[in-house]
Amino acid sequence: MKPKKIPMRMCVGCREMKPKRELIRVVRAPDGTVSLDATGKKAGRGAYVCRSAVCLGRAIKQKQLERQLEVQLSEETAAALTATLAELKALPPEPEADA
Ligand SMILES: [Zn+2]
């Protein structure tokens, strides 16, 4: 039995590499809407941030999310992402389904 390789992704807020399951995916759907993807399975272009309001806030303020997703974030969208993260933070990380 080989040890399982942990998929790593970079948080666009603090720019640290972390295990994917500790991060949350932000996805730009084909129709241009941006949302948090708690399951990691939504279609579209994705970026990852820590499950932290600090990292998400930084990613939004420093336009890292916009750059990564190639999209303009409205204030409404940014506020919705922050609110969704606050809800998700109460939940444990999703188990890796595709590993
Ligand atoms: Zn981070």
How many angstroms is it from 1 CA to the middle of ligand 1?
Answer: 32
Residue 21 in domain: yes
d(C-alpha 88, C-alpha 67), whole Å: 24
d(C-alpha 5, C-alpha 74), whole Å: 37
In the three-class reduction of DSSP (H, G, I as helix; E, B as strand; rest coil), residue 48 is classed as strand
Residues with CB in 5 Å of ion ligand 1:
11, 13-14, 50, 55
CATH number at residue 64: 3.30.1230.10
User: 11-66: per-residue pLDDT in tens?
Assistant: 999 999 999 989 999 999 999 999 999 888 899 999 999 999 999 999 999 999 99
Backbone angles phi, psi at 3, to 5 degrees: -65, 145
Structural domain boundaries, residue 14:
8-89
Residues 4 and 99: beta-carbon distance below 8 Å: yes
Number of separate domains in the chain:
1
How many angstroms is it from 23 CA to the middle of ligand 1?
Answer: 8
In the three-class reduction of DSSP (H, G, I as helix; E, B as strand; rest coil), residue 35 is classed as strand
pLDDT of residue 94: 58
